Amino acid sequence: AQTVTQSQPEMSVQEAETVTLSCTYDTSENNYYLFWYKQPPSRQMILVIRQEAYKQQNATENRFSVNFQKAAKSFSLKISDSQLGDTAMYFCAFRGTSGSRLTFGEGTQLTVNP
Amino acid sequence: DTAVSQTPKYLVTQMGNDKSIKCEQNLGHDTMYWYKQDSKKFLKIMFSYNNKELIINETVPNRFSPKSPDKAHLNLHINSLELGDSAVYFCASSQDTVEQYFGPGTRLTVT
């Protein structure tokens, strides 16, 4: 079974600075997908970014980018130029190709301070 | 337009009652899911339906019964509610694009 681990329960960053959230996972599959979801206080789950394991290039979406290290089974999220609206719980998630379920990490609560 | 909607958004009920949560998606997706988010914010899959057929059924008490009348709807019925059922329940849907799109969640409080 796949497992996803986020070792940072809480993090904080000053507005306009850069922060990196960590995620590691365990799987025996070779092809899979990784995601970062954001859950603000409104509790809506919002997809931030996704990465296909077969792609070597790290995914980027505006201020959000990932550092995908397949051999190390690591998938960190970097947020540049942090904004107050980035304050949220961030979840790392894994989806294998043999099934459609998402396996989530425990989440990291990010607070952006003015 | 709301892509994935759930009703109700809040549900407060007493132990022993039976309740239902409804989910509808207008994205044309074939697969729908129910996830449970506990008090520690941990999210876990409960069920998944593909084209009205049950494809994922996690270790969930049989008091929980999903029903999919058509591929745009996936409802969750809970019998004999217990205190431990208090949580936020999320519906989601996906197609070949892999991403899952989540509804706004239903906060269930059992007293």
Asked whether residue A81 carries a pLDDT value surpassing 70, the answer given is yes
Name which of B31, B41, B43 is nearest A100 (Cβ-Cβ). Answer: B31
* pLDDT score for B7: 96
Q: Are the C-beta atoms of B23 and B76 separated by less than 8 Å?
A: yes
A42, A89, A100: residue with CB nearest B94: A100
Instruction: Say yes or no for a CB contact (<8 Å) between B55 and A100.
Output: yes
Q: Cβ contact (<8 Å) for A45 and B102?
A: yes
Per-residue confidence (pLDDT) for residue B2, from 0 to 100: 67
Average pLDDT over residues B83-103: 91
**Token pair listed for B59:** 């270790």
Q: How confident is the model at residue B53 (pLDDT cuts 50, 70, 90)?
A: confident
Average pLDDT, chain A: 94
CB distance from A47 to chain B under 8 Å? yes
Tokens of residue B102, six digits: 């989540």
Interface residue A98 vs chain B (CB under 8 A): no
Choose the closest CB to A101 out of B41, B48, B90: B48
**Confidence at B1, pLDDT banded by 50, 70, 90:** low
Q: Note whether A89 contacts B41, CB cutoff 8 Å.
A: yes
Task: For B96, name the nearest residue in chain A, comparing CA atoms only.
Answer: A100
Contact: B56, A95; criterion CB under 8 Å: no
Q: In A32-107, which ranges are E strands?
A: 32-39, 46-52, 60-61, 64-69, 74-79, 88-96, 103-104
Identify the residue with better confidence: A23 or A55. Answer: A23
Contact list in B for residue A89 (CB cut-off 8 A) is: 41
Q: Check: CB of residue A100 under 8 Å from CB of residue A2.
A: no
Residue A60 pLDDT > 90, yes or no?
yes
B16-43: pLDDT as tens digits: 999 999 999 999 999 999 999 999 999 9
Q: Is the peptide bond before B8 cis (omega within 30 degrees of 0)?
A: yes
User: Which residues of chain B neighbour A8 with C-beta distances below 8 Å?
Assistant: none
